[in-house]
Chain A
């Protein structure tokens, strides 16, 4: 195992971490703000992939799909927000689990009706459908693009949350929604904006992942558990937690796969159990 092996696997780990980050950041911020466990978040990821494939097939334009698909998913998210999510905010976590679980089932079968049971693929755009050689390795350009995309979003979210007024409002509302409301923040509108933003990121993750992974009807359920693990390991509702969690899981799964293949199926679960036993609130809890 030489340096190029480590570099390659580092890039693989980064690429996976960034996808996990795009998914988990929406879930964790929605939870942190609204105390809402949205299990259907992963279904929106699936919709992102399928809409991306359809738009791309209809127009032949990958980048159009890349922009349109998150927008469509956001619209669906907005509809869900007004029909269900908003109503369920005070209904208690058990009911939220039940409703969003129901949504998973509904969206799953709607996707089956719309796109069929056969797995679909999406080609990477021509500009990125090659490999890039550097430092003695060659690596798919599209994967480098995903790493760059994830890092960009990660850093801009950091800046927005830490430096801007809306970031301060979000942080205040995570700390104490009542207090935030009394300071004149329109909490309801803020929730809606954040929820839509989370949906857009889920859709973006879906369409971004489609050229690497095929789109299948089970992709939502399969990604749900790793995403929840990221969110929980990091600590619910915390941006830093989602970053730490997705990096930990991305690196653990990638290096576990090549260094400890016989254990790789359970490594994540072992880590999850150990972290929760030692730090029952996750690594970087949002509050307290």
Chain B
């Protein structure tokens, strides 16, 4: 249905464009939203789209941006085909989106060669703003390392000596755990044990949980997202595991925490956004989001929202066409719901605060309680040459 509306919106804006031939009007920026709307990641694609549209609508600049949406289905070849379509056929000025790192990997060379700016609104693969960085790829979401390194240091500094880690056995899982473990051991901690669960197949974490508990570690640190996160947290709760649970913040994301129920209480995690941040920007954003959608925003909707803010900032700084947007994006900085944000021109990855938070029971259900803020986390320039 989404793309039907998008089409209608596009038709309307095209109509306006035609009228505007006679009028001195804004330059029209064509945006390609390239996100999964079906399959495993459909919920994320929709959340990011909602956030992005909200940013544009709030700014009252819907006439200025015409939006084409394409469904990547979380399949790399499909993602690449849709990217080619957006650039070569629809001739978009900028692309926004990409949830899975596999899709980003597939698109990377094409985006680079076609010199089309891409604002990454989720995919966290370290390499995309590391070894495989490109002047045309700017990430406003996070990198896998960025979220977990601070948590490694923070846990070691807060008296946790040994940790047992768990994550799904795929690239993102390995990156998350590796960056956590590196920071944790560098700060004096010790990894007591580590399991990678078969990706997409594992539903029953019982065997791993019992293993982790019997290792005698001080804490369990995990990365799970989506349905996997719900299963993991609920099963952690049902086994009544005494070892405290820590994780990448996706584990208790607002999107899923309701389904996790009481088991999520006391889980401590790190993330680049939580909806309970006490800043005017965030309060305004949360209120607006609640008014529109009736639910709390998640980190995914913020990523979409910030992609919209970054895009508008780049258009204001440079111009509305491909080349100017690409040139302006790496120098964008603004204050959003997440706090003060800037793009690091050395990697094109975002520089942002990382928040350590507990999930607690609030007045209207589970909510996030901020424990600590690690300000302005910046990725190293790990092999990135623009």
Contacts and interface: CB of A to CB of B under 8 A. Distances in A.
A103 B230 CA distance: 27
A159 interface: no
Contacts of B214: 5
A214 B231 CA distance: 6
A197 B383 CA distance: 60
A23 B201 CA distance: 17
Nearest to B40: A218
B46 interface: yes
Nearest to B262: A123
A258 B207 contact: yes
Contacts of B46: 117
Interface stretch (A9-17, A36-44, A184-192): A9-17
6 contacts: A9-B210, A16-B204, A131-B239, A143-B238, A253-B204, A254-B207
Interface residues of A, number: 40
A16 B202 CA distance: 11
Interface of B: 39-40, 42-43, 46, 169, 195-204, 206-208, 210-211, 214, 226-227, 230-231, 234-235, 238-240, 255-256, 258-262
A97 interface: no
B68 to A, nearest CB: 21
A6 to B, nearest CB: 10
Contact of A212 (B42, B201, B204, B256): B204
A253 B285 CA distance: 45
Given A8-B210, A142-B238, A222-B203, A261 B196 contact: yes
B255 A118 contact: yes
Nearest to B44: A117
Q: Give me the 7 closest cross-chain CB pairs, A-B, nearest first.
A: A121-B259, A214-B230, A265-B198, A117-B43, A12-B206, A140-B238, A117-B42
Interface of A: 5, 8-9, 12, 15-16, 112, 116-121, 123-124, 129-131, 138-140, 142-143, 211-214, 216-219, 222, 253-255, 257-258, 261, 264-265
Contacts of A120: 259
B207 A213 contact: no
Given A16-B204, A118-B43, A119-B230, A212 B235 contact: yes
A121 B234 contact: yes
B206 to A, nearest CB: 4
Nearest to B230: A214
